[in-house]
């Protein structure tokens, strides 16, 4: 099922998904407030690797990881929320973010 092109790794101790790219490491940081919930807090891609689909690939990987474990995702990171909005197949597994 996976179509991920990057060699993304998972570090559950540091609560992140990461991959080495030009300019350093690109990553997603998350929290796990409940056993079956990932709250994706931050997405980062180093400047030389931006606008090359790295962030999208990371978010897709994180969402597929969560889906494989039957987790719900709270897309706190605005990029992740935008990704979910653009990819309806993930909407059923996301928690709504309360607007401030």
- Distance between CA 78 and CA 74 in Å, rounded? 11
- Distance between CA 54 and CA 61 in Å, rounded? 11
The pLDDT of residue 5 is 83
Taking residues 55-65, report their average pLDDT.
96
Does pLDDT of 94 surpass 90? yes
Domains of the chain: 9-93 (3.40.630.30)
Taking residues 60-87, report their average pLDDT.
96
The pLDDT of residue 4 is 66
User: 11-41 pLDDT, tens per residue?
Assistant: 999 999 999 999 999 999 999 999 999 999 9
Cα separations in angstroms, 50 against 24, 44, 47, 88: 12, 9, 5, 24
Taking residues 65-77, report their average pLDDT.
96
Q: CB-based contacts of 72: which residues, under 8 Å, 6+ apart?
A: 36, 37, 38, 66, 93, 94, 95
């Amino acid at each position: 099922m996976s179509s991920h092109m990057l060699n993304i790794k998972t570090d559950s101790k540091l609560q992140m998904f990461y991959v080495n790219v030009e300019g350093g490491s690109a990553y997603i940081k998350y929290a796990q407030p409940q056993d079956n919930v990932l709250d994706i807090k931050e997405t980062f891609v180093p400047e030389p690797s931006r606008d090359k689909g790295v962030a999208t690939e990371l978010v897709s990987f994180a969402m597929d990881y969560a889906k494989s474990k039957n987790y719900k995702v709270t897309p706190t990171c605005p990029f992740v929320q935008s990704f979910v909005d653009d990819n309806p197949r993930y909407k059923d597994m996301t928690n709504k973010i309360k607007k401030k």
